[in-house]
Structure 1
Amino acid sequence: MKLLCCGGSNGTMDMEAKNSTKEDEAVGKHSGLGIRHFQIFLLFFALTVAYALRVNLSVAVVAMTDAASVNPDFPEYDWSEQTKSLLLSSFFWGYVITQVPAGQLARKYGGKVMLLSGLAVCSVLNILTPICARIGGWQLVCALRVVEGLCQGVVFPSTHTILSQWAPPKERATLGTCAYSGNQFGTIIMLATSGVIAASPIGWPSIFYISGGIGCVWAVVYFFFGAGSPQECKSISAEEKKLIEMSQADEVSNDQELPKELLPTPWLSFFTSPAFLVLIVAHSVHNWGFWTLLTEIPSYMKNILGKDIKSNALLSALPYVCMFAMSFVFSSISAQLNNRNCISRVTSRKLFNSIGLWIPMVTLIGLAYVNPDQSEVAVVLLCFTVGMNGATYLGYNMNHIDLSPNFAGILMGITNGVANIMSIIAPLIVGFIVTNEHDPEQWRIVFFIAAAFYLVGNTLFVIFGKANVQPWNDPPAKPRRNSTPQVESQH
């Protein structure tokens, strides 16, 4: 990585400064809140809804299988631990399948259509969960969760497609962080409220009714006010539209005969690009560590430290509160560095990705050596580890759009699909290693493996990662009859 003093000039920085001149002038004329910020606000709530629908079963299943101790007025199901694990994992079976197709469909039909349809159907299915449990048992609930996963597989690729249309390059990291912080917000809200709802007079079915109902309300609002791009938005001002178009001018080919949604997808170029291959690695190692923490830390805290944080809603949500808050702290720092031209885009991506992966690498090793009588220290380290992960929103997470604004949704679908396979494998590896949950030595191996993934993955990203638009962003269209051959744009 190459850090430069503010106001300094040097090859790459000079080029980026020249390319951003027109954007700076446009921003000066329209620097306040605009329609693009409202669209990001809608995306924030889309991801809030998505994660609320995703994690609600993890809390509700406790009340569904032990209603007598929570609220005996509602049905109780005799489901084994194996059945509950099957139900909790079934969502990801469908989720992985639709990642890559979703990116392609978002390019063809628009990000709004895919995001709206996916979350609307998922919300309705969520409302039907208590009914399915009553009439079809765990088998029907499992099938329902698979379909919900299929529906939510469109969320990230569609969100990236919409962001690539709405976010000016200099605002990309900030606006992207604001949108994706909905992930943590939805998790926090659901973890903090589900237990209270289950114990209230309205019971555990209301966990699904409320979260699904809010999703339906969001869908109605987004149908009327959401837009996949500035060109589709009727309420955007001419000045703001010009700002976005001018800022993205250097990332769009000026000699394309075909609309970009009809451009051929350069699949071979994707998988022969070192910059994209290391992006897959960076996304995958982040998911490995993140899901190792999410799924296994409660067991570690209970069996090694004698403290079951899953029984305490506040402690369960606290790491995600830290990540939610820190993502905005990092976003503000990034905005200041970019506004003062202190740092190039590629350096910014690598710097914040290193903060989000290498600092947690150190704290994971620290967690491995916490003594059983130091549970408070372990909670602090856990919060710090997850909180620092928020910096990756400004790292690899926005890098898809940097490499290819035209194919950002497809790139996100590919990396998220691979990364979620890693999310499924990581807990299985933990189960293979930790044969005795009370053995600290076995848990140390788990933390060392996650730390090693962080180290290797981010090192490759720092060495080979790029943040400039790749030549395959504008593939040459096939010549049409009675037309001159398409000339590939140069970057």
Structure 2
Amino acid sequence: MASKDITAAIATKTAAENDGPRVGVRHLQSFLIFLGFSVGFMQRTNLSVAIVAMMDRNSTNPDFPEYDWSEQTKSLVLSSYFWGYFLMQIPGGQLAQRFGGKIMLLFSVGIGGFLTIFTPFGAQLGDWQFICALRFLQGFCQAAVYPSGQIILARWAPPAERGILVTLCFSGMQFGTVIIMSISGILATSKFGWPSIFYVSGGCGIIWSFMWLLWGAESPRQSKLITPKERNYIESALEVLSKSESNTTPAKLPTPWLSIFTSVPFWALNITHCAYNWGYWTLLTQIPSYIKNVFNKNIQSNALLSALPYAANLVFGLCFCALGQVLLSKKVFSTNASRKIFNTIGMWIPMAATIPLAFVDANSSDLAVILLTLSLGINSAVFIGFFVNYIELSPNFAATLMGITNFGATLMSMIGPLVVGVVVTDTTNPNQWRIIFYTMVFSYFIGNLLFITLGGTKVQPWNEPVKRNANRVQQTGE
């Protein structure tokens, strides 16, 4: 009898998967998350581009104040967001787990929007100290963005579509950065001056919040827009029909901390994320300084060249996403093989490109820019590599896993510039910069090696701790 039930369940699941609509509300949810990530990153990076106009003593617009801040003060202002963001990572994952991804994503982007709009007034009220406080609060609130996205995707993305939906969502990071970097120069020189950079990015956050409030949903079962056919397709594919009928919801499940921290696939994922952040953010934030000082080519002063690495990451990410979906649909690779292959592309090819970047001739600055752009573009293959792995290891605790790993990964992105400051005492010395390149190569190599050897895509036993504990009680008779 049990065998017949299992066969019937498999047949039902297969039929539901085959009958699933090609485009549906799950894609709308992913697009809304994409926009939310875009707006969140517009708010996150707006100060790094606005501060140039805020400190411009040669500004021709006398209607807006300019600030005479030292480089040390400038660094404090720019880093204040990340301190709040860093401290709230693990609690942010727990809050998303407890209250749901929809509420926390709404809170993160919406409150961030209000704080962003208030930033110009804050500068006038309390100078750089007030801006630091606002940015700290903004980072504090937006720490739940990633975990919220993961927990929503865990309930909306069927296994066969996880790669494409996760990539679509996380591409919002690059899209938002490209947009704000592209329009900031125009906004700063408009009649509204540099404050308009904050008004636009903050206003987008408020507008997105209303859209999310209207059309966003925690799960297919809570959506008012979804058809019964699509809901059955998603739930059947995720094998959650039986769970939805139980009294236990993911929000009520106790977090299995010990099981998580003793899980080998989780540690492989954790180290991979940290290694990726070390390499990616070092490439993104420090190599432009290397190109400027060693090759005398300032790509940061050129809006087009500054946005180019982000644009390349966005375009390459969507291309890898389409390729990965085709390969999975044709069953060329298993899910496990696909994740590891694309993660290898996203970390080891940039690693290989980093080596010649360290030895480019001083007269070949354009080649250095090309190598940097290609490295950052190909990096995006990890979106269908380890970025999807949170949902696969534990759909119920994807937000918690993301909070834990992003805590360490954010720490890596904060330590990276400090290491550069200690190692590179002469910014024109290519030999000192090569030490930084070597750390990136080592980081990418070790991170991906652990992922392909110790990582996995199977749902972990601790994903359902209540059921696991119930089975243990039955077996022991306690």
TM category, shorter: over 0.9
Instruction: Say if 1:477 and 1:257 are closer, same or farther in 2 by CA, change over 3 A.
Output: farther
Q: 2:52 aligns with which of 54, 58, 62?
A: 62
AA aligned opposite 1:90: S
In the other structure, the counterpart of 1:454 is 444
Aligned pairs, number: 468
In the other structure, the counterpart of 1:319 is 309
Aligned mates of 1:43, 1:59 — CA distance in 2: 24
Deviations 1:386-424 (A, max 9, x none): 001100001111101000000001000111111000110
Instruction: Say if 1:433 and 1:129 are closer, same or farther in 2 by CA, change over 3 A.
Output: same
Instruction: Say if 1:70 and 1:142 are closer, same or farther in 2 by CA, change over 3 A.
Output: farther
- Correspondence 1:152 to 2:142: yes
Instruction: Say if 1:188 and 1:335 are closer, same or farther in 2 by CA, change over 3 A.
Output: same
Query: Is the CA contact 1:71–1:200 (under 8 Å) kept in the aligned structure 2?
Result: no
Instruction: Say if 1:26 and 1:202 are closer, same or farther in 2 by CA, change over 3 A.
Output: same
Query: What SS class does the counterpart of residue 300 from structure 2 fall into?
Result: helix
Aligned mates of 2:371, 2:144 — CA distance in 1: 34
Instruction: Say if 1:215 and 1:27 are closer, same or farther in 2 by CA, change over 3 A.
Output: same
AA aligned opposite 1:245: E
- Correspondence 1:435 to 2:425: yes
Aligned mates of 1:477, 1:105 — CA distance in 2: 23
Shift of 1:476: 2.5
Q: 1:372 aligns with which of 337, 348, 362?
A: 362
Aligned mates of 1:238, 1:308 — CA distance in 2: 55
Shift of 1:364: 0.9
Query: What SS class does the counterpart of residue 258 from structure 1 fall into?
Result: coil
In the other structure, the counterpart of 1:363 is 353
Query: Is the CA contact 1:46–1:182 (under 8 Å) kept in the aligned structure 2?
Result: yes
Decide which moves more: 290-299 or 54-63. Answer: 290-299
Decide which moves more: 253-262 or 49-58. Answer: 253-262
Aligned mates of 1:459, 1:145 — CA distance in 2: 36
Instruction: Say if 1:403 and 1:255 are closer, same or farther in 2 by CA, change over 3 A.
Output: farther
Aligned mates of 1:56, 1:107 — CA distance in 2: 29
Aligned mates of 1:259, 1:157 — CA distance in 2: 17
In the other structure, the counterpart of 1:6 is none
Shift of 1:228: 1.1
Query: Is the CA contact 1:67–1:74 (under 8 Å) kept in the aligned structure 2?
Result: no
Query: What SS class does the counterpart of residue 341 from structure 1 fall into?
Result: coil
AA aligned opposite 2:305: L
Q: Gaps (5+ residues) in structure 1?
A: 1-17
- Correspondence 1:297 to 2:284: no
Q: 1:91 aligns with which of 81, 90, 97?
A: 81
AA aligned opposite 2:78: L
Query: Is the CA contact 2:357–2:368 (under 8 Å) kept in the aligned structure 1?
Result: yes
- Correspondence 1:179 to 2:169: yes
Alignment of 1:120-269 (within 5 A): 120-249=110-239, 258-269=248-259
Shift of 1:487: 5.9
Aligned mates of 2:138, 2:281 — CA distance in 1: 20
Query: What SS class does the counterpart of residue 309 from structure 1 fall into?
Result: coil
Aligned mates of 1:197, 1:258 — CA distance in 2: 50
Instruction: Say if 1:23 and 1:172 are closer, same or farther in 2 by CA, change over 3 A.
Output: farther
Query: Is the CA contact 1:284–1:415 (under 8 Å) kept in the aligned structure 2?
Result: yes
Shift of 1:76: 0.5
In the other structure, the counterpart of 2:278 is 288
Q: 1:335 aligns with which of 317, 325, 335?
A: 325
- Correspondence 1:415 to 2:415: no
In the other structure, the counterpart of 1:10 is none
Aligned mates of 2:241, 2:385 — CA distance in 1: 19
Query: Is the CA contact 2:250–2:397 (under 8 Å) kept in the aligned structure 1?
Result: no
Instruction: Say if 1:269 and 1:484 are closer, same or farther in 2 by CA, change over 3 A.
Output: closer
Deviations 1:11-65 (A, max 9, x none): xxxxxxx998755532432332111110111000000000000000001001001
AA aligned opposite 1:376: D
Query: What SS class does the counterpart of residue 69 from structure 1 fall into?
Result: coil
- Correspondence 1:464 to 2:471: no
AA aligned opposite 2:110: A
AA aligned opposite 2:453: I
Shift of 1:196: 1.6
- Correspondence 1:278 to 2:268: yes
Instruction: Say if 1:223 and 1:253 are closer, same or farther in 2 by CA, change over 3 A.
Output: closer
Aligned mates of 1:226, 1:250 — CA distance in 2: 20
Deviations 1:434-457 (A, max 9, x none): 000000000111011101100011
Decide which moves more: 376-385 or 246-255. Answer: 246-255
Alignment of 1:479-490 (within 5 A): none
Aligned mates of 1:409, 1:19 — CA distance in 2: 29
Instruction: Say if 1:299 and 1:263 are closer, same or farther in 2 by CA, change over 3 A.
Output: same
In the other structure, the counterpart of 1:117 is 107
Query: Is the CA contact 2:17–2:236 (under 8 Å) kept in the aligned structure 1?
Result: no
Aligned mates of 2:275, 2:389 — CA distance in 1: 15
Query: Is the CA contact 2:327–2:333 (under 8 Å) kept in the aligned structure 1?
Result: yes
